[in-house]
Chain A
Amino acid sequence: MKKSKSAKVQSQQQNGHVLPFKFAKLLDPEASWDKDQLGDVLHWIRQVLGLVCGLLWGAIPLVGAIWILVFLVLSSGIIYGYYAHILKIDEEEYGGHATLLQEGLFASFTLFLLAWILVYSLAHF
């Protein structure tokens, strides 16, 4: 059952369970999210995934266009799992799945390609 996040009061403080760091909010299913904040978080998670996958794909190396599809499916799956199962947000309040999944997608795709090409070219030739 999806809960409404945007109107939720942060009861942790009332219960004495104060979150010490901002980053704790990233794993807190009870936290309330502004649309812009959530969009920014998903954007940066995508960029990190793109960079890590690009470095990894290039280092192994993984060769072939199929690994582009693997990256797209993997990164989208991780983003979906994050907002649906860890943050447990109601996607309708934030513009639906398409809006959330496309946040930072193109920039992370180009970053992934750049990292993959660079590591592959420099490490294996």
Chain B
Amino acid sequence: MATALSSFRYGDSLVVVGISVCTAFLCEGISWLLIYRTSTYKSLRSSIDKASKKLESMKSTSSSSAAATSGAAAGAPAASSKKPSSRAKKMDRVETSLKESTRDLSLSKFKSGAVVAGVLFVVFGLLNSLFEGRAVAKLPFSPIPLVLKMSHRGLPGTDPTDCSMVFLYFLCSISIRTNLQKFLGFSPPRGAAGAGLFPMPDPKIS
């Protein structure tokens, strides 16, 4: 295998990817051992899923009834004003419960996350010592200055298309771990995530 890799000028990139894949599986294994198989995590996850689904259905019910009452004749204004306020209070309660469960879920992961962070620290140090000062890949584009700081970190010369281990490891971490978590069903629940445009792999466990 070493001979095969050495025949490629940038065979080191495969080593980085291979180590990233192994690290991702190791981290998920540790997380499963310390977090996912615990009853606390399972019950919190279940309550977040239920609360977010309940909140969604309450929101859709309130928006459809608001559309209905706005077109209806003014029949019983006193009676109709009570229902929306009690529904709003219910929604607030469900939302508060959802936030609390999300916070508790984060806390439960935080304690075990230190172990995973330690593993990642060791792996990064190992990769750094192996590939410091060497371009492990060639970029097919010139990155913007902000990205260049990471992609050209520790490399000699001024060629912007030289790719350092740090940038490649970053890409591997995000893509491999996010999809591995998704595949194994360990990604954070959508109701709690609020991840927006740049969802990272669950930071508490990676």
Task: Tell me if A113 counts as interface (CB < 8 A to partner B).
Answer: yes
Q: Among residues 55 to 112 in chain A, which have CB atoms less than 8 Å away from a CB atom of chain B?
A: 57-58, 61-65, 67-68, 93, 102, 105-107, 110-111
The interface size bin for chain A is 20 to 34
Given A35-B56, A105-B197, CB of A121 within 8 Å of CB of B141? no
Given A35-B190, A64-B140, CB of A118 within 8 Å of CB of B56? no
Complex Cα distance A61/B174, Å? Answer: 24
Cβ A61 vs Cβ B10 within 8 A: no
Cβ B190 vs Cβ A110 within 8 A: no
Task: Tell me if B142 counts as interface (CB < 8 A to partner A).
Answer: yes
Q: Is the interface of B mostly helix, strand, loop or mixed?
A: mixed
Minimum CB–CB distance for B138 against chain A, Å: 5
Q: Give the interface centre of A36, A50, A58, A114 by most chain B CB atoms within 10 Å.
A: A114
Q: Which listed residue (A47, A61, A67, A117) contacts B13, Cβ 8 A?
A: A117
Query: Which of B98-106, B112-120, B175-183 forms part of the interface with chain A?
Result: B175-183
In the A-B complex, the 10 residue pairs with the closest CB atoms? A111-B175, A121-B10, A107-B178, A121-B137, A110-B175, A65-B141, A110-B174, A120-B140, A114-B171, A125-B9
Interchain Cβ contacts under 8 Å between A and B, 7 examples: A39-B190, A57-B140, A62-B140, A63-B141, A106-B199, A120-B140, A125-B9
Q: Which residues of A contact B (CB under 8 A)?
A: 35-36, 39-40, 43, 47, 50, 57-58, 61-65, 67-68, 93, 102, 105-107, 110-111, 113-114, 116-118, 120-122, 124-125
